[in-house]
Amino acid sequence: MSAPDPLHDLGVRTGAGGGGIRVWSEHATSIDLEVFADGDLDWAVERTPLVRDAHGVWEGSSAALVPGARYGLRVDGPAGFDHAFNPVHTLLDPYARGLAPVPDGSWRGVALESLTDGGFDWGATAKPRVPLDHTVVYEAHVRGFSKLNAAIPEALRGTYAGLAHDASLEYLTGLGVTTIELLPLHAFVSEQRLVRQGRLNYWGYNTLGFFAAHAPYASAAAQAQGAHAVRREFAGMVRRLHEAGLEVVLDVVYNHTAEEGRQGPTYSFRGIDNASYYRHDAHGRYVDTTGCGNTLDFGHEAPQRLVLDSMRYFAEELQVDGFRLDLAATLGRDDHGAYTPEHPLLRAMLDDPVIGASKLIAEPWDVGPGGWQTGNFPAGFTEWNDRYRDRMRDFWLGDLRRERETGTAGSGIGRFATRLAGSSNTFSRERGPLASLNFVTAHDGFTLADLTAYDVKHNLGNGEHNRDGTDGNNSYNHGVEGVTDDSKILAARRRSIRNLLGTLLLSAGVPMLTAGDEYGRSQRGNNNAYCHDSELNWLSWRDDARVAGLEATTRQLVRLRHENPALRPVRFGVFGETTPSASQMDWYNADGDTMTIEDWNDPAERTLQYLAASTPEFEEFNRILLVVHAHEQPTEVVLPEHEGVTGYLLLWDSADEHPVTVASEHLPGEPIEVSAQSMRLFRALGGE
């Protein structure tokens, strides 16, 4: 028989005769539960002392703790440099399922019954469970996605219900993506600095409550009805996306909280047990590996349990399909502050039957010592691959700039090919190419269009004198900074966008598109637009603001990825062996000859032919040829002769503004003219 779990059922559990609450605090000397009047969140109608057990869990019950009740905690404890107890403050339960704001800036929890007890019906639709090799991630912001879409009723634009509207679902399914990764939806607040400036945190990386959906993203009608209606609208969004076959992945921020540095606001954790929830040095100062003022201490069991309980709640009760873990290196720091892939929190995520069955995507770094950990997460995690991002940007943009300025691109084809084939130099054979989440852009940084239009960031509108945001963009403006009416420059920019889109969607690994990149969305050179809830960040749905050729290209590339399993291997192949669900890869130069060591090491070699054949396990045999030519002048390429290949059917050419509608067929050994700075994808005809 297993030992009883001392941290079970934290938070509020409601019943017919009221409810009970369990709160963890190792150092508190007293905790009182307060239940407030419905119409006055400053008026406590009941105060109940909680009783501590041997494991630091404080427990009590109240007949007033019914569904919809507003409640808070008053906590007292010892003084000292690592404590912050003050029983004057009413604190937020870390496990509160719903939140209610108080005019003085504090918060109350809202007791909620389970969704099913509240009558929510998930229907017959199950989680889509899209295999990783079929997954195409679309990173989006709930508010920004539908805020300007005139096809959606105005009251629903920019809301959970707006994302669940037919117009949104038709667009997303038409684009062909499988998995919507949503910027933070846990309840959050803006940092005090932004509030003083009259700005706000638009992205949401400043979590207030890890169990409550962010209320301002619900429709006004749901907000007016309260926390239960907000949660219901969130769940309705998930249900509708599932009915359309789309997965929902949440970007979650467990590495720090909205309480900022020691002089920041006290909402919850700091007043409940500052010494245990946050990481400190020997002098009681916060150790900040997040750049946000504080860091949760995952050397302690209770913060680990908080994360696991939050993930399980959203994956089980709210049916989300996965999590993108912000600054995930922090989640793997032990009691000495060092990162380890064997951290009990990371292992527990994988071992949990609910969480471990979800998609787990790590942002594998933080800003602390030893914080860059790309490739060093345990098997079962997919990681944002920043090395992929930087290499592909440099190959198509930085090298183009160098070739124009110096006559030589400066780097050859080898490192590009390694990333194209799944980054085997970063991820182990055991983990395979699907450990790499490939991306060229994300919410943080230039959009894809701005990568091709700006050499430097333009962040003055953020109020930080252009000091914020990275200076290392690997971008190229193609000769003019920003907006231009020069048709040649605009055409060159679109060609570079198509090359980057093609590279992303035809690479081994899991691709992630950033919302709006599929049609050329610009943020006017702002590469850190975190504080703008405006058209700078919202997607435009006007035809004149969307490049139709880019959108059509994206749709075709997503479809081609789906149709050609050779592009999406599950495993790395091993020379001389047959590996199921791997792709046999052969590499040829422009003359159709097998690449030599000299070819791979020649910095002037910028033309490559990549022949990939699937090793069938669950799908039919498939073979593709991808031709990459990254010089400023066109060239002649001799299509390779390979056993079993009888011809090549052209599927896509990045030199074309719009996808080809009539596929042309070519023979092995046939010379073809390839345009400057372009890619071509062929399906290789013939048997295995």
Q: What is the mean pLDDT of the chain?
A: 96
- Determine which helix (DSSP H) or strand (DSSP E) holds 81, and give its type and residue range: none
Confidence band, pLDDT 50/70/90 cuts, at residue 119: confident
d(CA 436, CA 392): 14
- At residue 202, the pLDDT reads 98
Residue 443: which residues within 8 A CB-CB, separation 6 or more? 139, 141, 183, 203, 514
Choose among 299, 310, 652, 290: nearest CA to 499.
652
Q: Poorest-confidence range of 207-216, 409-418, 559-568?
A: 409-418
- At residue 688, the pLDDT reads 79
CB distance 561 to 136 below 8 Å: yes
d(CA 665, CA 606): 25
Helices (H), 362-467: 386-393, 399-406, 414-420, 448-451
Structure pTM? Answer: 0.97
CB distance 233 to 158 below 8 Å: no
Q: Does the pLDDT of residue 2 top 70, yes or no?
A: no
Residue range 447-503, pLDDT digits in tens: 999 999 999 999 999 999 999 999 999 999 999 999 999 999 999 999 999 999 999
Residue 230: which residues within 8 A CB-CB, separation 6 or more? 98, 213, 215, 218, 222, 223
Confidence band, pLDDT 50/70/90 cuts, at residue 1: low
- Going along 169-312, which residue ranges are E strands? 179-182, 186-188, 207-213, 247-252
Choose among 501, 634, 635: nearest CA to 175.
501
CB distance 569 to 422 below 8 Å: yes
Residue range 395-406, pLDDT digits in tens: 999 999 999 999
Choose among 506, 339, 350: nearest CA to 420.
506
- At residue 462, the pLDDT reads 95
Active-site choice (133, 139, 309, 363)? 363
Nearest 5°: CA angle at 135, between 134 and 140? 155
Q: Does the pLDDT of residue 643 top 80, yes or no?
A: yes
- Going along 387-507, which residue ranges are E strands? 436-438
CB distance 192 to 264 below 8 Å: yes
% of the chain beyond a pLDDT of 70: 100
Look at strands 583-588 and 607-614 and give their pairing: antiparallel
d(CA 222, CA 229): 5
Residue range 39-48, pLDDT digits in tens: 899 999 999 9
- Determine which helix (DSSP H) or strand (DSSP E) holds 30, and give its type and residue range: strand 30-37
- At residue 660, the pLDDT reads 81
Q: Does the pLDDT of residue 636 top 70, yes or no?
A: yes
d(CA 19, CA 17): 7
- At residue 17, the pLDDT reads 86
Residue range 508-524, pLDDT digits in tens: 999 999 999 999 999 99
CA dihedral 509, 510, 516, 518 (to 10 degrees): 50
Query: How buried is residue 574: exposed, middle or buried, by Cβ count under 10 Å (0-12/13-18/19+)?
Result: exposed
Q: Does the pLDDT of residue 578 top 90, yes or no?
A: no
- Crossing angle between the packed helical segments 301-312 and 269-277, to the nearest 10 degrees: 120
Over residues 426-436, mean pLDDT: 97
* Tokens matching residue 545: 């603001």
d(CA 680, CA 648): 11
List residues bridging with 138 in a β-sheet: 180, 513
- Going along 618-687, which residue ranges are E strands? 623-629, 635-638, 647-653, 665-666, 671-674, 678-685
Over residues 13-23, mean pLDDT: 92
Confidence band, pLDDT 50/70/90 cuts, at residue 662: confident
Can you list the domains of the chain with their CATH numbers? 1-113+260-290 (2.60.40.10), 132-259+291-512+522-538 (3.20.20.80), 565-685 (2.60.40.1180)
Residue range 272-326, pLDDT digits in tens: 999 999 999 999 999 999 999 999 999 999 999 999 999 999 999 999 999 999 9
- Determine which helix (DSSP H) or strand (DSSP E) holds 610, and give its type and residue range: strand 607-614
Q: Poorest-confidence range of 117-121, 254-258, 327-331, 608-612?
A: 117-121
d(CA 160, CA 163): 5
Active-site choice (113, 288, 326, 518)? 326
53 CB neighbour count, 10 Å cutoff? 10
For 285, list phi and psi in degrees, rounded to 5. -80, 150
CA dihedral 335, 340, 346, 347 (to 10 degrees): -100
d(CA 536, CA 446): 12
- At residue 238, the pLDDT reads 98
Over residues 340-359, mean pLDDT: 98
Residue range 59-109, pLDDT digits in tens: 999 999 999 999 999 999 999 999 999 999 999 999 999 999 999 999 999
Q: Does the pLDDT of residue 575 top 80, yes or no?
A: no
Q: Does the pLDDT of residue 576 top 90, yes or no?
A: no
379 CB neighbour count, 10 Å cutoff? 12
* Tokens matching residue 506: 């035809």
- At residue 454, the pLDDT reads 98
CB distance 609 to 635 below 8 Å: no
Could you confirm whether 352 is annotated as catalytic? no
Sheet with 57-62: strands ordered across: 11-15, 18-24, 57-62, 51-52
Could you confirm whether 82 is annotated as catalytic? no
% of the chain beyond a pLDDT of 90: 95
Choose among 520, 522, 536: nearest CA to 461.
536
Query: How buried is residue 543: exposed, middle or buried, by Cβ count under 10 Å (0-12/13-18/19+)?
Result: exposed
Choose among 426, 364, 360: nearest CA to 391.
426
For 271, list phi and psi in degrees, rounded to 5. -80, -20
